Structure 1
Amino acid sequence: MFIQLDLESAEPIYIQLQHQIIEGIAKKKLLPGDSLPSVRSLASDIGVNLHTVNKAYKQLKQDGYILIHRQKGVVVNPEGVPKADNSYRELLAKNLRPYIAEAVCRGFTEEEFIQTCKQIYSNFNERGE
């Protein structure tokens, strides 16, 4: 699997793990219906506590990215990720606010911020990065 964690990062490991899996789905490295390792197996493979993986999986399940079956194990949601709704749009705006505020404080122009976003976004469309 493509998971690469930064154990020195201030960002919690379970959040890094969530982000890596979501990025894998966005870049089509993980397709609807694809199997993911069990909690125990992934924890062992990446060298973290199984509760850390379990916490990431629970959040991914709650957000609709994965399903957890007793027989099938963990799979990327076969129906795909739920489409953006007003609730998601509000959450996205809330999460972007601190990054935009920091960019403004550091002298980024609106154009620079948007260009940075466009560059990152294009990496997902190209399945690259």
Structure 2
Amino acid sequence: MLLDIDLQSETPIYTQLVHGIVEGIARKQLQPGEGLPSVRSLAADLGINLHTVNKAYQLLKQEGYVQINRKQGVVITMDAYPAADDAYRSRLREQLRPLIADAICRGVTKEQFAEMSQAVFEEMLPKEEK
């Protein structure tokens, strides 16, 4: 599993881990039932604190992307991921607000933002879904 972690980024490392794993799931690089490295192993591989990895795994569990148990460790959820309900859409809208505001302040047009969003969305889709 390749995770691109930027230790100099303003984005917290645990957030980068969550985003990287969710992207791996979206791209179908990580499959349901597949195990993730142990907290200690991933922390050692990335040269980060094990509490950082643990926090990322706990957030992924709360969002329904992974299951954590003592025998199997951390496993990509076999069940369907939670649907995009009204609560999710509301949270997504709130997360987009600062991105859009920053883009507007920097002179990005609505069309440019839409084009970038479309391009990133297409990049995330697995090859068989394009």
- TM-score under structure 1 normalisation? 0.94
2:38 aligns to what? 38
Cα separation, 2, equivalents of 1:124 and 1:80: 18
**1:67 alignment partner AA:** Q
Q: Is the 8 A contact 2:26 2:126 kept in 1?
A: no
Q: Is the 8 A contact 1:36 1:75 kept in 2?
A: yes
Residues 36-88 of structure 1: CA distance to partner in whole angstroms, max 9, x if unpaired? 01111111111111000000000000010100011111100111321111110
Aligned residues between the structures: 127
1:4 aligns to what? 4
1:17 aligns to what? 17
Q: Is the 8 A contact 1:32 1:80 kept in 2?
A: no
Q: Is the 8 A contact 1:65 1:80 kept in 2?
A: no
Cα separation, 2, equivalents of 1:54 and 1:125: 28
Cα separation, 2, equivalents of 1:81 and 1:123: 20
- Return 5+ residue gaps in structure 2 as ranges: none
1:73 aligns to what? 73
- TM-score under structure 2 normalisation? 0.94
Residues 8-48 of structure 1: CA distance to partner in whole angstroms, max 9, x if unpaired? 11111001011000000000000111110111111111111
Question: What is the deviation of 1:126?
Answer: 4.3
Cα separation, 2, equivalents of 1:66 and 1:80: 11
1:113 aligns to what? 113
Is residue 97 of structure 2 the alignment partner of residue 100 of structure 1?
no
Cα separation, 1, equivalents of 2:94 and 2:48: 30
**2:108 alignment partner AA:** F
Residues 97-122 of structure 1: CA distance to partner in whole angstroms, max 9, x if unpaired? 01111111222221111110000000
1:84 aligns to what? 84
Q: Is the 8 A contact 2:43 2:50 kept in 1?
A: yes
- RMSD between aligned residues: 1.0
Q: Is the 8 A contact 2:35 2:73 kept in 1?
A: yes
Q: Percent identity?
A: 52
Structure 1 stretches of 4+ moved >3 Å: none
